[in-house]
Amino acid sequence: MSLFLRALALVLGTLLLSGCVLSYHESAPRKTLRNGTLLKQTYYHAETTAEDGTKIRFTVYQPRMRTDHTTPLLIHAHGYGLSRMARPLSFYGTLLPPGEIALQAWHDGYFVISYDQRGHGSTGDSVGLIRPDKEADDVSRIIDWAVRNLPLATDNNDPVVGMLGESYGGAVQLLASTRDARIDAIVPITAWYNLDQALFPNGVPKTSWITFLGAIGYVFNPFHMDNGMSGELIGEMFGNNNPHLRKTLQNNSLSAHCGNGVWPKADALLMPGMRDVLFPYNQSVDIQRCFKMAGKDVRLVAIADGHLLPGSQWSTGTPVWEMQDEVSCGGKTLQTAALIRDWLDGKLRGDEKALARVPHFCLTGDELADARQQIGEWQELRPVHVGSGMSGQFELLLKPLDHVGNWLRPAHVPANWDKPHNGWIRPARVPLLAPKESTWVAGVPRIALTFSHTDRDDPVLYLRLAKWRPGSGSYTVLNQQVTPVHAKGPLEFELGGVSARIEPGEVLGLLVTGWNSQFRFAGSGSATDATVAGRIALPLVSAVPAPAQP
């Protein structure tokens, strides 16, 4: 179904159902559970009570099945600002892939529960950004309810339970998996490992994302937002130093648990987005490391997009967040939804053939299935100077001029291709690599920097890896990833994870600017003045010809 038709169906369904009042039950209504010798395929609304008295509301999708059989449970967790899949004809059921996959699991014979997280939809309390003792423990209360009321499959008397969800709904899976061993397998899509580092990378606030998320929260959940936390976030964006907020963000993250020896107890299929600038690929690499240390089966299959910042990143489908229908691994095109279903069937139904079809590692790219992230040799960064906070601010207008300038330049890599260029209005540019053969940059680069000739106590610079072809067009930022840094140090840190092919005739380099749209209010102003030098280690993978498709 086309995106237009799906959106039309959603609008019509919403209008038709807008007058319906949801009826909640503390336990499953008996009349929906028995129909002769078969359980009827249906859905209904229910609720349970959390330890603090909060009512947790959810929708149960009951499959058609024999009354003397059992089946696994899949819990669907929604994203920030949204609400549960209350009906098949809904935002999740018709537009967002995690909801569509959950519905397909229902048709395939799973019990599915889609629930409202605290402060969202019909569930009470405030939006708390995944507090371990509230949002995470609410998952356990839902499992308790399901054990009492549904004929669930068991393994050694424990219910067989999986979870699925993106973003906010991915983060709650991570924390729930550290607190409830009954959860067997999870699929956290574009989730965070450390919320403090995600929102304040290297201590610099992602002002555009924080502003957008705050607006989403107050539009869709105006009476359930935690005004104290919102005020702290706003204050932090404008320079307040609030240790309480930063500590809260860390505690509401898997990183605080792994660091203290509290390990996840489920197996995990991680799906980061390579163009995701809110929770970049690096976050999932850290999640992967945590699950490996816990001895769990953890697999990582990256998708192309993820969270997309409105106004800065284009989307070919659903705005703000996007997951492609396909990924490319090892010369094969794999259906994303089928991968997730195979993972769930393998872990929750014991289907070994299905599980064998799920790669252990894949950065979406033809030759990179089951490759491992590699950190290359450290190489020198020749010094480059950034002389203005306006550098990078007008690239939308100036990049077309590159095409004009290239009419006068030969279309080949010049002998002095590695000469750096200082930045004022345009970005400073430090060439790094001009490969002789097709090469992938795939993984998390590391960089060590020193700064000199800074004109302020604490200027902020923005770093991006980019590629360009001399004599043809302009540069392309790899996966649109940008990393901020306070220009004081020396410092060593990670750049945003990338996956891109660099062809012969192209140059890979580092761009340095004093302004970036993701950090719109966090720059140093027009007086930025700093010289940058240091070293960089690139994760390089030599490309080999992909096997021919049959």
β-pair type (298-301, 267-270): parallel
pLDDT of residue 388: 83
* 367 part of a folded domain: no
Does 350 lie in the same domain as 295? Answer: yes
* 548 part of a folded domain: no
Domain boundary among 337, 362, 387: 362
pLDDT of residue 279: 97
* 306 part of a folded domain: yes
Helix axes 336-348, 97-107, angle to 10 degrees: 50
* 165 part of a folded domain: yes
Does 82 lie in the same domain as 174? Answer: yes
Does 388 lie in the same domain as 357? Answer: no
CATH of the domain at 469: 2.60.120
Does 250 lie in the same domain as 138? Answer: yes
* 80 part of a folded domain: yes
β-pair type (55-62, 42-49): antiparallel
Q: Could you give the C-alpha distances from 431 to 9, 420, 447, 460, 506, in angstroms and in order?
A: 50, 6, 14, 21, 10
Does 263 lie in the same domain as 391? Answer: no
Does 382 lie in the same domain as 357? Answer: no
pLDDT of residue 291: 98
Could you say which DSSP state residue 32 is in? G
* 369 part of a folded domain: no
| Structural domain count of the chain | 2
Does 352 lie in the same domain as 310? Answer: yes
Does 234 lie in the same domain as 289? Answer: yes
Cross-strand pairs, 442 = 499
pLDDT of residue 525: 58
Which tokens go with 502? 């660099």
Domain boundary among 335, 362, 389: 362
* 160 part of a folded domain: yes
* 550 part of a folded domain: no
Domain boundary among 304, 338, 362: 362
Does 321 lie in the same domain as 446? Answer: no
Does 334 lie in the same domain as 439? Answer: no
Domain range holding 346? Answer: 3-362
Enumerate residues 6+ apart whose C-beta is below 8 A from 179: 132, 136, 137, 140
Does 326 lie in the same domain as 198? Answer: yes
Q: What is the mean pLDDT of each run of 10 residues along the chain (550 residues)?
A: 40 35 57 68 97 97 94 97 94 93 98 97 92 96 97 96 98 97 98 96 91 87 79 72 85 92 96 96 97 97 94 83 90 92 98 96 64 69 90 91 84 92 95 92 94 77 96 94 92 95 95 89 68 94 48
CATH of the domain at 220: 3.40.50.1820
Asked if residues 166 and 173 have their Cβ atoms less than 8 Å apart, the reply is no
Does 352 lie in the same domain as 402? Answer: no
pLDDT of residue 12: 35
92's enclosing H/E stretch is helix 91-94
